[in-house]
Amino acid sequence: MPYKILFVCLGNICRSPAAEGVMNHIVAEANLSHLISCDSAGTSSYHVGSSPDKRMTAAAKARDIVLQGQARQLQKSDLDTFDLILAMDRQNYHDIIRLASDEKHQDKIRLMCDFATHHQQTEVPDPYYGGAQGFNLVIDLLLDACQGLLKELEVSSTLQVK
């Protein structure tokens, strides 16, 4: 059974689908797709059913990373389904924690930037109202954090346990 990771942002059209795409790309390059399953969701219902933002898709494509899927809202059942839930910023984190009913669920919720090793940011900034440089920064930050996450999963033997 694969280790299941859920990436969460506000609307599920920029940061979280980018994190999902970046992680899927890194996992595939490491030949670990059979051990790790990724998905994404938003804390709001603003964009349910929408494809990833075209600007984020372009920033990812420039690095040969494919973004796919349709926006969906985070559900309470996701707290049981996923092994790790990664929030893009503190507001997302607090929104997810409020949904969590017990310590077991809360323990699996973390901030995406907890896994970054080269970038100093503590949150993945929302690029929605900015220019192309914001989307590129998000992809760079997610590449760093996802590589750090994969390394931590490999080192902790989490992938062999599942």
Residue 62, pLDDT above cutoff 70: yes
What's the CATH code of the domain at 89?
3.40.50.2300
Domain that holds residue 41: 3-161
Percent of the chain exceeding pLDDT 90 equals 91
Marked catalytic residue, from 39, 78, 89, 126: 126
Q: Quick one: pLDDT at residue 155?
A: 87
Confidence of residue 162 (pLDDT cuts 50, 70, 90): very low
Q: What is the pLDDT of residues 87-118, one digit of tens each?
A: 999 999 999 999 998 898 999 999 999 999 99
Asked if 15 is an active-site residue, the reply is: yes
Q: How many domains does the chain have?
A: 1
Residue 25, pLDDT above cutoff 70: yes
Asked if 126 is an active-site residue, the reply is: yes
Asked if 110 is an active-site residue, the reply is: no
Q: What is the 3-state secondary structure (H, E, C) of the chain?
A: CCEEEEEEECCCCCHHHHHHHHHHHHHHHCCCCCCEEEEEEECCCCCCCCCCCHHHHHHHHCCCCCCCCCCCECCCCHHHHCCEEEECCHHHHHHHHHHCCCHHHHCCEEEHHHHCCCCCCCCCCCCCCCCHHHHHHHHHHHHHHHHHHHHHHHHCCHHHHC
Q: 57 CB contacts (<8 Å, ≥6 apart)? A: 51, 67
Marked catalytic residue, from 15, 53, 55, 89: 15
